[in-house]
Structure 1
């Protein structure tokens, strides 16, 4: 049932996001001479930042790894950025010119005779003033009216000439043939970052965190039973607690451990507590000492751990190869759309993004 709930949650998320975007794209009555983001950004920012700020504070005072509260705080800042964008990302204009205020609150004043071109993308437009650009997002209230007014003023100043359109920018990987270049580049980079982060996490999990005396639980234990099955040994202590030695490598002789599972011999174990969802809790043994002699050493269990999990590194490698090939293919197709059929183009781009 738990997996069904999780699956439904993942299905609901894109529906909610689509609903929010549809709401933001609805036409709204703008104040005269003003361009600003809808008030929904404030509501969304407050909800998001609060939702993630609460677990940030909770995990900061609990015995959690430092990256957990940092991660929650990062999402809280993302929510706060919606509020900052609502407050700062504004344009005010009249017949003399316009003042654009960016995300950081920096104001710049322009006149209409400074406007040189417009770049139209799928979800935003850019008013170009030489090398500077003023972005008008599709969800901006009053954005359509402002762009229409800029076009009108440009025609008046330049004696009927239409405002030139820019189809290609200096860093356009698609050579001006695809809308929303920044969106595609952002997606390419973010997925690449996720793959690299996944690979780094796996390397750290497999090789970077070996078990030692310092990061395991030391216990004095007597065992009453020892059962070897598949690649693990299951032991039961005199107080009926469950212990396991997992991922046993080839050539390991378990007879010596079995010989001391008599309920009398006191052994020193170094283990980690494991609380799985689908079976009873147990201690995963990383080393066993009988007096001063190791029956099972940290070197052995660390080596078995690495041998068990290193094949997982193939996943990020395969993902990276597939994703790299996809990105390369999309760039080739995007730069030369006339050379490919519409079926090929649809493998990389949705309808409406490619300019044939």
Structure 2
């Protein structure tokens, strides 16, 4: 069953349009937030509102909020949209595999551009040998397990509340902005090295280091949708395998179950025989087309954020006066990260006493 008949689009330009749209939204949110913080720092009244979408860059806070929500049923009011965005992304992985990575994520888009430079430099795609590729791929899962273990295995309800309500978490969005705008030399050179490695080894960050991608890959096993191959019409040209950015042997699989598949659809586009490769549930029973997939990815984010706004789970509860206080004391020890010692954040309400004076 097809959801639409207009499936004559090549996937790359369609996916690129979706990527650029999300990239522009991300840049717009970042610029708005930078202006908002700058105006507060100057002591004036912001001419624009703080964009809640900036919390999408706070995955650790979102993960902590997720456990708090599971235990208490309460959306914390400090960074509610961080949890909303996390839930949307997790939902896309469960239904549509790792489509977030190849259709939405700005870092994924940058990785694609750098992989293009790799091809220009080397003339063809150079892959790491399997004996090195497999151990390196485990790094992102180790990082993922560390973060999941630190939050779900180590933090009790008291420590969750302590972190969520701490001065550090309240200004996590501002600290994230400062991280990029006031980049240290160490951070700068780490980014340069990652860029270099991503040109030398395509998708280096995404394939070997991204814990977010590892989490989505694990959840993608739950997805009912897979890339399927119709064996009877397959001519074994292996074009699908050669274009796969995740190095999956698509031409040998009846269905692609790999957690490395991020639903970029390149294999489907590369296949010279119509309907030999397709994205579906159990062998053509429910088949998604390219446009259907793109629409679903977009709808997840549009409807998810709309629902959050309707239910009051999008804007945070931090007032402008409180933001001004935090900005003035941004470098105080109370606003620093205690290296995981969440029970030692101190009196997270001390700023209220200051505001009352």
What TM-score range do you get, normalising by the shorter chain? Answer: under 0.3
As a proportion of its length, which structure holds more strand? 1
Q: If you compute each CA radius of gyration, which structure gives the higher value, 1 or 2?
A: 1
TM-score, normalised by the number of residues in structure 2:
0.25
- Using the size of structure 1 for normalisation, the TM-score is 0.25
